[in-house]
Amino acid sequence: MILTVTLNTALDITYRVRGLSPHATHRVTDVTERPGGKGLNVARVLAALGHEVTVTGFAGGATGRAVQDQLTRTPGVVDALVPVEGATRRTIAVADASGDTTQLNEPGPLIAPAEWSAFQEAYAVLLRSASVVALCGSLPPGVPVGAYAGLIRTARTFSVPVLLDTSGEPLRRGVAARPDLVKPNADELAELTGSHEPIRATRDARRRGAQSVVASLGPDGLLAHTPEGHWRAVPPRRFRGNPTGAGDSVVAGLLSGLVDRLPWPDRLARATALSAATVLAPVAGEFDRQAYEEMVGQVAVTGEVTAA
């Protein structure tokens, strides 16, 4: 079982408009709602690929109930969210006809100390049957900034590999706890290391504690630095569309490749193709399966294996 942790779950709402202009009234042509937050997006992609996934984190209020109601109708995904008093946040994406998207993200509910303790207990139980865990996204108010570092250490006691996908101070502290893999984007990597040169920055992130680093470079693909070697994966062409969730699909591809025991170049090809196919999907957080299947063999992966 793959476990994904989304401490700041969300109800993702996408509005489609013909064009977006400041200070104007807009007519919405279409509205979609679905469970959101990075780990839930990852879980949905993994389930579509045929993996068994359990999701945990927090859920509360009417939006939390809406998230859980939809999760029960998602094949392959098991809901293990922990209830809280506060209301789960909403994220609003406004997509216009050109493919540009404007994102509005609420901060999330205030998590009480007792709720955080209840989550940690539930997390430890779930780890007993997990093959890998992904810790994803921002922290809601009330959760300690070092939360991910603690969850990484807990996973290590159960010998469960950890992928970390967050930013800012939670990323810095999490990297110091030595996760198996971190997946920052270019800006997050630069903030962590102080370097805007991706190759140097990925190496520095490993020196800070991450065992492997896969940096998401947007339309330029992925850059990986691991104990087994270093590689660059580039999609066959640039794609225009909605990038929301593309980084989460990278995480799903990396996790899928790990549990399928693929070599690193094949993992990176899968993750890159999934990311591009997510940009092409009509709804944020989904992926175009036909595009994915066509692209996965067209991703150019270059690099070298580290000598033993």
Task: Quote the pLDDT of residue 308.
Answer: 44
Does the pLDDT value for residue 114 go beyond 50?
Answer: yes
Residue 66 CB-density burial (10 A; 0-12 exposed, 13-18 middle, 19+ buried): middle
Does the pLDDT value for residue 98 go beyond 90?
Answer: no
Which one of the listed residues 12, 79, 248, 288 is annotated catalytic?
248
Rounded average pLDDT over 244-262: 93
Rounded-to-integer distance, Cα 78 and Cα 111, Å: 23
Dihedral in degrees, nearest 10, Cα atoms 205, 211, 216, 221: 120
89-103, 109-123, 242-256, range with the lowest pLDDT:
89-103
Strand, helix or coil for residue 108: coil
Q: How would you list the strands of the sheet with 10-16, edge to edge?
A: 30-36, 10-16, 89-95, 101-105
Task: Quote the pLDDT of residue 24.
Answer: 85
Higher pLDDT, 286 or 228: 228
Active site residue 248: yes
Is residue 284 very low, low, confident or very high in pLDDT (cuts 50, 70, 90)?
A: low
Q: Strands 101-105 and 89-95, how do they pair?
A: antiparallel
Rounded-to-integer distance, Cα 100 and Cα 105, Å: 17
108-117, 221-230, 256-265, 276-285, range with the lowest pLDDT:
276-285
Q: Which residues contact 255 (CB under 8 A, 6 or more apart)?
A: 2, 42, 46, 51, 132, 134, 163
Strand, helix or coil for residue 223: strand
Work out the number of other CB atoms within 10 angstroms of the CB of residue 50.
9
Rounded average pLDDT over 39-58: 96
Give me the residue label for tokens 């990852």: 42
Does the pLDDT value for residue 283 go beyond 70?
Answer: no
Rounded average pLDDT over 87-96: 89
Q: Which residues contact 85 (CB under 8 A, 6 or more apart)?
A: 60, 109, 112, 115
Q: Of the ranges 10-14, 148-152, 297-301, which is most confident? A: 148-152
Rounded-to-integer distance, Cα 8 and Cα 4, Å: 12
pLDDT tens, position by position, 237-247: 877 776 778 89
Rounded-to-integer distance, Cα 132 and Cα 255, Å: 8
Rounded average pLDDT over 157-172: 97
Work out the number of other CB atoms within 10 angstroms of the CB of residue 105.
16
pLDDT tens, position by position, 174-200: 999 999 999 999 999 999 999 999 999
Task: Quote the pLDDT of residue 129.
Answer: 96
Is residue 96 very low, low, confident or very high in pLDDT (cuts 50, 70, 90)?
A: confident
- Phi, psi angles (nearest 5°) of residue 189: -65, -40
Strand, helix or coil for residue 54: strand
Task: Quote the pLDDT of residue 93.
Answer: 82
Task: Quote the pLDDT of residue 286.
Answer: 81
